[in-house]
Amino acid sequence: MQLGVIFGGQSYEHEISIVSAITLKGQLRQNLVFVFCDKDRNFYQIDEKNMKAVYFSSGEYKKSKQLNLKNGGFYAEGMFSKTVIKVDVFINLIHGCDGEDGKISALFDFFEVAYIGPRIEASVMSYNKELTKFLCAQAGVKTLDYEVLKRGKKLNLALPVILKPLRLGSSIGISIVKKDSELEYGLDNAYEYDDVILAEPFIENVKEYNLAGCKVGEEFIYSIVEEPKKDKILDFEQKYMSFSGNSTVNEANLDQNLKTRLKEAFAKIYSCGFDGAVIRCDFFVHDNEIYLNEINPNPGSLAYYLFNGFEDMINLLAKNLPNRVRIPVSYKYIQSISAHK
């Protein structure tokens, strides 16, 4: 099976996606087809030998073959011909806007392109942190209390709080506010990235655990449970500089009961529309209660560092994607009307 990787996108996480794609190249032994979406949303086929960060930052990628997305996949078009790029299944590795907000999912569904990644509804629900709260309520998984802020609206939650842009990942724009004097800076920092902010109580020394996985048929494939090393929050550098290197992760030292409960919470969330995706759920545990912190529908390099047998899992998922329903269009209704005139 020929796998492709689509990465880049018009996003604050554009560079993260590039690093993620380069890292994934080292984790999958098979040959991959790489399709880059640049900041102007043009598509390019990137030779594997050019999968280096400087190739993109220098603009050299523009010398690569430019592609067009049409029904059935990506095409390279000449003056008198067009050739489809042979890929059976794409891996959606665009982080943030374009990749996790539903745009690429919608395009791939529209043009009947098979892909590993969240479908449209799951993308929308996991990209917007307030909608994620609604999803968890439907799934029966707890989340922290919260408040949604817009410019000019007063914060009502008691300090300390953590402020997050409503529609952004990778811990970008996040601040912890413990004193009134820190609030204005925290709000300004978040508003740089979004015009809506999610505020939640900040719990000192809360336990945080990450669990990734997917569903193949009726069976879940789970990663190990990781307790990430962090300072007060798991920030951008801790999240993404680690997976781009030679990361080794130790499994969290948890009793079996808590592991089982985390997997049950993961399964409830995944079952709310994430079929066909590898996701990572980041959980808090406080006073023996489990809370969903966030859903990562396209985790960095798909969280390979949490799995044993990562490549086998990707290939198995690629062969067991959700069925696409093609609706027949026959014009019988119009023909029947015309026949009676």
Q: How far apart are CA 83 and CA 77, in angstroms?
A: 6
Q: How far apart are CA 331 and CA 333, in angstroms?
A: 5
The CATH classification number of 124-142+205-318 equals 3.30.470.20
pLDDT of residue 234: 46
Omega before 201 cis (within 30°)? no
CATH topology of domain 3-116: Rossmann fold (3.40.50)
Q: How far apart are CA 114 and CA 317, in angstroms?
A: 11
pLDDT of residue 281: 98
Q: How far apart are CA 45 and CA 78, in angstroms?
A: 14
pLDDT, averaged in runs of 10, over the chain (341 residues): 97 95 96 97 98 97 97 90 94 95 97 97 96 97 97 94 88 91 94 95 94 96 91 49 61 95 98 97 96 96 96 97 89 84 63
Q: How far apart are CA 274 and CA 120, in angstroms?
A: 9
pLDDT of residue 240: 47
The DSSP-derived string for 173-240 is T-EEE-SHHHHHHHHHHHHTT-SEEEEEE--TT-EEEEEEEEEETTEEEE-PPB----SSS--HHHHH
Single-letter code of the amino acid located at 88: D
C-alpha torsion angle, residues 239, 240, 244, 250 (rounded to 10): 0
The CATH classification number of 147-201 equals 3.30.1490.20
- CATH 3.40.50.20 domain position(s) in the chain: 3-116
How far from 313 is each of 105, 310, 316, CA to CA, in Å? 21, 5, 5
User: With b meaning 16 or more CB within 10 Å and e meaning fewer, what string describes 50-72?
Assistant: bbeeebbeeeebeebeebebeee
- CATH 3.30.470.20 domain position(s) in the chain: 124-142+205-318
| pTM for the predicted model, two decimal places | 0.90
Q: How long, in residues, is the chain?
A: 341
Q: Select from 1, 54, 62 the least CA-distant residue to 37.
A: 62
Q: How far apart are CA 133 and CA 149, in angstroms?
A: 15
pLDDT of residue 324: 85
Q: Select from 141, 146, 110 the least CA-distant residue to 128.
A: 146
Q: How far apart are CA 74 and CA 44, in angstroms?
A: 9
Q: Select from 126, 146, 123 the least CA-distant residue to 136.
A: 126
Single-letter code of the amino acid located at 103: K
pLDDT of residue 231: 60
Question: Residue 291: in which H helix or E strand, if any?
Answer: strand 289-296
- CATH 3.30.1490.20 domain position(s) in the chain: 147-201
pLDDT of residue 168: 82
pLDDT of residue 238: 47
The answer to whether the CB of 294 falls within 8 A of the CB of 282 is: yes
Q: How far apart are CA 99 and CA 11, in angstroms?
A: 9
